[in-house]
Amino acid sequence: MRRAVWSLFGLCAGAAFAGPAAELAVVGDWQVKVEAEGVEATLTVERPEIVRVEAEALPRLPLYAPKAAQYARGAKLNGVRAQECTVRHALDPESLKVMDAAGTVTFARGRDYEAEASWGCVGRLEGGAIGADTPVRIAYAYGTMRMDAVVLTSDRHIALRRGVAHVSLPELPPLAAGERRLASIWITPRLARLTASHFFPVLETAYPEPPKPVPSVAERCLPKTMATLKAGGRLRVLAWGDSVTDARYLPEPAKTRWQEQFVRRLRAAYPAASIELVTEAWGGRNTGSYFNEPPGSPHNYREKVLDARPDLVVSEFVNDAGLDAAGVAKHYGRIRDDLKTIGAEWIILTPHYVRPDWMGFSEERQCDEDPRPYVKALRGFAVENHLALADASLRWGRLWRQGIPYSTLLMNNINHPNPFGMSLFADALMVLFP
């Protein structure tokens, strides 16, 4: 688990704003000038670490699949893996060498094998020298990420603290007593030189929570839930979603999934109530997938959601992000009507941020506004229908202000949040309650 990130945010219960921002400017390929609070320094940043793999043995290579997802077109090289996916641009394409098991024969790319080099995948070609059961060894090099911290020391000097390198989940370095983090410098794999887009000054120490409305969102939109909690009654909560709700990829999912974190906090806030958590999740699917499943299916909508007889449903569907306003009205209108029929109340979670190119971002700064039509439509739908909306998207959009590139929280480098990323959902849910 990313202890450095967890400990950092454990200390952020005070004011959210960090004060005057440090100013960072590139003054060389690997040099940055920093000015903060009347102090300045020029720091030299280490290049990304390059790891060389001399002989990764594979018992066989699958056929190259050019029409598959880019990270699934062949065998994934272990060095660039991020859970079930790989890290884009981590592999050095010029370093890739595919050989026979003895290392005496070098196969030819384009004749014997093909590679999706940007994603670190390799597959054999029909008619080439690599058979279906031919063992191979692969040599390659790849770059790692790092998050360095620019700090103001207790004696008011500006210094650089080196982060812990990782191919996809770089950790912020621990700080010494009395040090304050001014900025993060994000070193991406195989970075050729520093640019301003790699600088993340700390503008906020936490998400700036607005004052809670009176009455609260839960009191207005979830009256039965609130009555049950206040009376110390029994409440059945159904967490319904996709792989982010299933989240068995997490370390200790029974503790770190968003719904586990949320219900744990809700129990602490209402200790007299008996709160049961039920999870119904289907990785790689969306609300339409549930609607289309026949009776008897493991994920039939009526049997697994409505017949579960929840008191409160919390839905999370990043995989619904392809829906436009009309799609949201159709899908979520159906859910609204069905939950009303069974007497259940509903909280809609907005999704987290995913791979920047999927979001239409060129960088991970200045990204407060979620550009996805789905998110805008969810917000409008909730207002129009007087439904509770837990806006996790807003929190993900401000991570850059805390010195955190949001993709460093994605365990598969695409769309699977780590435990801290999951906590942002729980944060968004808890602010609905008084």
Residue type, position 405, single letter:
P
**Could you say which DSSP state residue 303 is in?**
I
Give the Cα separation of 72 and 64 in Å (integer). 9
pLDDT band at 2 (very low <50, low <70, confident <90, very high): very low
Give the Cα separation of 377 and 392 in Å (integer). 15
Percent of the chain with pLDDT over 90: 95
Give the Cα separation of 16 and 21 in Å (integer). 13
Span 306-322, pLDDT tens digits: 999 999 999 999 999 99
The 3-state DSSP class for residue 56 equals strand
| Extended beta strands in 170-321, E state | 180-187, 199-201, 234-241, 274-281, 312-316
pLDDT band at 12 (very low <50, low <70, confident <90, very high): very low
The dihedrals phi and psi of 80, each to the nearest 5 degrees, come to -105, 15
pLDDT at 9: 33
Q: How far is CA 78 from CA 25, 51, 138, 141, in A?
A: 36, 12, 11, 11
Span 166-180, pLDDT tens digits: 999 999 999 999 999
CA angle 307, 321, 120 (to 5 degrees): 115
pLDDT at 6: 32
Judge whether residue 358 has pLDDT over 50: yes
Q: How far is CA 80 from CA 1, 43, 65, 198, 281, in A?
A: 19, 29, 19, 21, 28
Cβ neighbours of residue 144 closer than 8 Å, sequence gap 6 or more: 48, 49, 50, 51, 90, 165, 166, 167, 170, 189
Work out the average pLDDT over 106-128: 98
Give the Cα separation of 253 and 276 in Å (integer). 17
**Could you state, in order of their start, the residue ranges of all structural domains in the chain?**
19-46+145-201, 50-142, 217-430
Work out the average pLDDT over 328-341: 99
DSSP-assigned letters across all residues of 97-139: EEEETTS--BPPBTTTEEEETTTTEEEE-TTSS--TT--EEEE
Span 14-43, pLDDT tens digits: 457 777 899 999 999 999 999 999 999 999
pLDDT at 324: 98
Span 185-239, pLDDT tens digits: 999 999 999 999 999 999 999 999 999 999 999 999 999 999 999 999 999 999 9
Work out the average pLDDT over 118-133: 97
Other CB atoms within 10 Å distance of the CB of residue 12 = 14
pLDDT at 20: 85
For residues 172 and 9, the answer to whether their CB atoms sit within 8 Å is no
User: Domain 217-430 class?
Assistant: alpha beta
Other CB atoms within 10 Å distance of the CB of residue 59 = 9
pLDDT at 13: 38
Place of tokens 């004749």: 111
pLDDT at 4: 32
